[in-house]
Amino acid sequence: MKKFFSEAKGHLMTGIGYMLPLIIGASLIVAIPLIIALFCGVQSLDPYAEKTGFFHTLYLINQVGWTGIGLVNTVLAGFVAYSIADKPAIGAGFIGGAIATSTKAGFLGAVIAAFLAGYTVKWCKEHIKLPDSMQQMMPLVILPFFATGVVAVVMGAILATPLSAINTALVDWLKAMSQSGTSQLVLALVLGAMIASDMGGPINKSAWMAGNVLLTEHIYQPNVYINCAICIPPLAYAISTLIRKDRFSNSFKDAGKGNWVMGFIGITEGAIPFTLIKASRLIPINMIGGALGAAVTCLLGAKASIPPVGGIYGFITISNGWAYLVGMLVGALFIAIVAPMVVDFNVDTENEEETLSEEDIDISFE
């Protein structure tokens, strides 16, 4: 069972890896026309749906982005199924993901459909034996037929209604959390800590994926906290190499220079080399910094009425964008000050602590 869950996690992360370019590209195409409109004094592009002119063009571009976001479940399910059982499963996976979207079964439904498609094909490969003269029918006809049939029966006829009810309840609950002061603060703390915990690993990706799934439901607020926390660890170690130079070796000072860019763009993996020096001490510090920054952003009133863009420059997509920047700076300064107090980074990298391995953090999506 442990092996199964380990493999399942790998398949899910592969699907997320293929889905990443879709959600990032689509989110930008949604946000940029809205930002241009806001700079022109237009609060919404919806009134220009049936009109002509510049703002109608922005509306059309914006809708292309939403079309891409609408494909998230489809692409995720297709490539999870592909990871499990290769090409014969991908079509059924795509169909299952599309069903999950159309029936409002959401992300949960897409994942279930993907595993149904993938493992149905895997089972058929192991148990269905055809004469050699008919083997070419297996990948083109038999396997897709059984996989799509199972997805149709289970997702289309059996689970569509209950999964839709579960997903709707979850979305409504998260909407309420995003609007309530106390609950929103808890959400910010949890997401901030998760993002900064393993910096690109399964916990980080789970929080990131949750935010992007909510994006498809037009719930933007969690992404404010996620995007803030993503920038904090690399930015923190870049700052720390400047204010506590005596605690860092020359190689780490050079790495710190690169972290300015990673912090600006929002790539948490920039903090990995620093964290590996003493992971047992630095992971909790990173998590506190991420949670603290996201909480400050929440308390100061940063709000998202459009899909927020990641990175430091994402403040332009957020109401009270200064709160986003202040929260990020508070979290980064906490790590920058505390980390060199508890760890000396003047060490040979060959003696780094093995508590947190690259394998745990850097998930391969190939």
366 within some domain: no
Residues 185 and 159 in one domain: no
Last residue of a domain, one of 141, 166, 191: 166
Kindly state the average pLDDT of the residues 108-133.
92
pLDDT score for 356: 44
Pick the more confident residue, 90 or 361: 90
pLDDT score for 98: 95
Last residue of a domain, one of 112, 132, 166: 166
Partnered with residue 345 across adjacent β-strands are: 248
Last residue of a domain, one of 135, 166, 197: 166
pLDDT digits 0-9 by tens, 290-348: 999 999 999 999 999 888 888 898 898 898 999 999 999 999 999 999 999 999 998 75
Residues 187 and 139 in one domain: no
Going by pLDDT thresholds of 50, 70 and 90, the confidence category of residue 357 is very low
The encoded tokens of residue 97 equal: 């993901």
Whether 121 shows a pLDDT value over 70: the answer reads yes
pLDDT digits 0-9 by tens, 6-42: 888 889 888 988 988 898 888 889 888 988 988 888 8
Residues 202 and 159 in one domain: no
pLDDT digits 0-9 by tens, 218-258: 889 999 999 999 999 999 999 999 999 999 999 999 999 99
Partnered with residue 248 across adjacent β-strands are: 345
Residues 23 and 90 in one domain: yes
pLDDT score for 348: 52
Between the CA of residue 99 and those of 75, 336, 365, what are the distances in Å? 12, 47, 25
pLDDT score for 179: 74
Whether 352 shows a pLDDT value over 60: the answer reads no
Residues 21 and 143 in one domain: yes
172 within some domain: no
Residues 85 and 193 in one domain: no
79 within some domain: yes
pTM assigned to the model: 0.76
Residues 339 and 235 in one domain: yes
144 within some domain: yes
Residues 156 and 247 in one domain: no
Q: Which domain holds residue 250?
A: 180-361
Q: What is the residue-averaged pLDDT of the chain? A: 88
Residues 57 and 162 in one domain: yes
For the chain, give the secondary structure using H, E and C.
CHHHHHHHHHHHHHHHHHHHHHHHHHHHHHHHHHHHHHHCCCCCCHHHCCCCCHHHHHHHHHHHHHHHHCCHHHHHHHHHHHHHHCHHHHHHHHHHHHHHHHCCCHHHHHHHHHHHHHHHHHHHHHHCCCCHHHCCHHHHHHHHHHHHHHHHHHHHHHCHHHHHHHHHHHHHHHHHHHHCHHHHHHHHHHHHHHHHHHCCCHHHHHHHHHHHHHHHCCCCHHHHHHHHHHHHHHHHHHHHHHHCHHHECHHHHHHHHHHHHHHHHCCHHHHHHHHHHHHHHHHHHHHHHHHHHHHHHHHCCCECCCCCCCCHHHHHHCECHHHHHHHHHHHHHHHHHHHHHHCCECCCHHHCCCCCCHHHHCCCCC
122 within some domain: yes
Q: Which of 343, 347, 336, 341 is nearest to 240 (CA)?
A: 336
Number of domains in the chain: 2
Whether 354 shows a pLDDT value over 50: the answer reads no
174 within some domain: no
Residues 210 and 338 in one domain: yes
173 within some domain: no
pLDDT score for 42: 85
Q: Which of 160, 64, 53, 153 is nearest to 110 (CA)?
A: 160
Residues 119 and 217 in one domain: no
Kindly state the average pLDDT of the residues 191-206.
86
Residues 140 and 215 in one domain: no
pLDDT score for 23: 84
171 within some domain: no
